[in-house]
Structures are given as structure tokens and as C-alpha cells.
Amino acid sequence: MKRCIGLFDSGSGGLSVLREVVKLLPDARYIYYADNAYCPYGNKSRDYIVERSKAVTEHLLHQGVEVIVIACNTATAAAVKELRATYDIPFVGMEPAVKPAAALTRSGVAGVLATASTLGAEKYRTTKSYYEGGCRIVEHVGKGFVELVEAGILDGPEAEATVRASLEPLLAEGADVIVLGCTHYPFLLPLMQRIAGPGVTFIDPAPAVARQVVRVLGEKIPGRTAGNHSIDIQLEASGELGPLTRIYGLVAG
């Protein structure tokens, strides 16, 4: 019988996490919920995000999921403690990937791109304080990044101007390693790499999250990828499904 895994995000960004989980568990059944009627989460209050996270969690539980992946940095920071305390099911959240960034930097400066809510959350501030003794950590809000991805605008003049406005301040500070602190941001990674140049490393925490999902389910991490498997994925949304299926086409392709 297939394992049933639920994932949710404020929109399409969590598909970057789904992509990595599927590589490790291609035979599972997936239900991905985009709460895009309320997207973005990054400018909402903590109480609002907790309320939405609970509503989505209950929807996924009614469909028999065994584990829920909070494929959203903002929702993880705001709601993961309360979700774990309220529901008797494992939750896997996004981790601020500051530790690997601090270990990888050669310049002594690590950058973090994230939403305002993530950067202001206790989870991020605690992680930052633990590792900033070994390097300087600078951050910037990826302003407009979520909206670009939801609109499917991943390149071109508008995307480049928006990405430059948030990325260049980190580069000016000397950051040679940059953490992608929002699951939407990996879809803009080719553009970011082109702007930053080959001397800058970007860290996407999604592969580490996928490995944690495997551990939580008690599975073994296989030495293969999904390949040509017929993947069982159910896409759902609180708003229009079109933007989600458009971005999923990029992931699946």
C-alpha cells in the first residue's frame, strides 16, 4: 500500500520541495495543497498564518495523509510548534539553512534571502545567533519573488529587475554563499546564478527536507531517482488551480 504524504504552501513554491521528496520516494502518493487564495503568507500576521495552517492541515488529515510537509518557510516559522502540539501526526518543516552556509563561506559573509515573516521569526533569529559567531550573516527580503513565481514570470526584464533589487545588496556585503529561505525562490535560481556569477553558491534546503521525510516515515533512502515512474500526485488549491499546474509542469518536466 502506498505511503500518503501531504504537503502545503501558500502557493506553488512548495513544489520545489515536492520535487525533491518524489526523487527519494517515487512510489508514494502525494497530496499537494496550495493555499493560493491567501498567498503570500510572508506579509501576514503570525496568528493569521497559524489559522490558515490549521485549516489546511485538517483538510489533509481528512484525506488520510501519514505525514505533513510544511513546504513553506514562513508557515514553518509561524506555525510548526502549534501544529505539532495540536495534531497527532508527524510534521516536517523547512529549516533555515544557516549552518551549511556558515560552513561553506570563504569570504566570511553568508547571505539569507527570505520573506519578512521568516526573517523576523524566533526560529530564524535563534539559528542565526548560534552560527553568526563564525561568520557575518546578512539578510534581505526577496521582495516580489513570490509574486513572480505565482505569475510564472521566471525570467525576462521584470524578473531580472526584481531579483537584482534584493540580491545585489547581499552581494555588495560580500556574501559568497546565499541561503534560499523561501520555497518559491528556487524557481528563480537560474536567474540568480546568472546575476551573481560563478563565485556565489546558493543553498536550497529542499533536498535536506526530503531526506528528513524519508527518515520520519522509516523508509530507506534509495540510490535512485524517480526516473520514468508514474508519479501519483494530487494537486489542490484554495484558489485558482491554473497557476499551480503551470508551475508543476516545470517541475515535472
**Residue 241 belongs to a domain with what CATH number?**
3.40.50.1860
> Does one domain contain both 131 and 226?
no
| Alpha-carbon gap, residue 238 to 57, rounded angstroms | 13
**Burial of 173 (C-beta count, 10 Å sphere; 0-12/13-18/19+):** middle
Please pick, among 4, 39, 72, 135, the residue that the annotation labels catalytic. Answer: 72
pLDDT, the chain, mean: 92
Catalytic residue at 135? no
92 strand-pairing partners: 69
> Does one domain contain both 109 and 45?
no
Catalytic residue at 4? no
pLDDT at site 226: 45
> Does one domain contain both 34 and 62?
yes
Query: How many domains would you assign to the chain?
Result: 2
Question: Cβ contacts of residue 170 below 8 Å, gap of 6+?
Answer: 111, 113, 138, 139, 140, 178
pLDDT at site 220: 67
How far the first Cα of the chain sits from its last, in Å, is 27
pLDDT average, residue stretch 33-47: 92
> Domain of 233?
4-94+206-252
> Does one domain contain both 195 and 225?
no
> Does one domain contain both 112 and 199?
yes
> Does one domain contain both 220 and 198?
no
221 pLDDT band, cuts 50/70/90, is low
> Does one domain contain both 57 and 68?
yes
> Does one domain contain both 173 and 213?
no
pLDDT one-digit tens code per residue, 154-197: 999 999 999 999 999 999 999 999 999 999 999 999 999 999 99
Please pick, among 4, 39, 135, 182, the residue that the annotation labels catalytic. Answer: 182
> Does one domain contain both 89 and 122?
no
> Does one domain contain both 111 and 164?
yes
> Does one domain contain both 179 and 244?
no
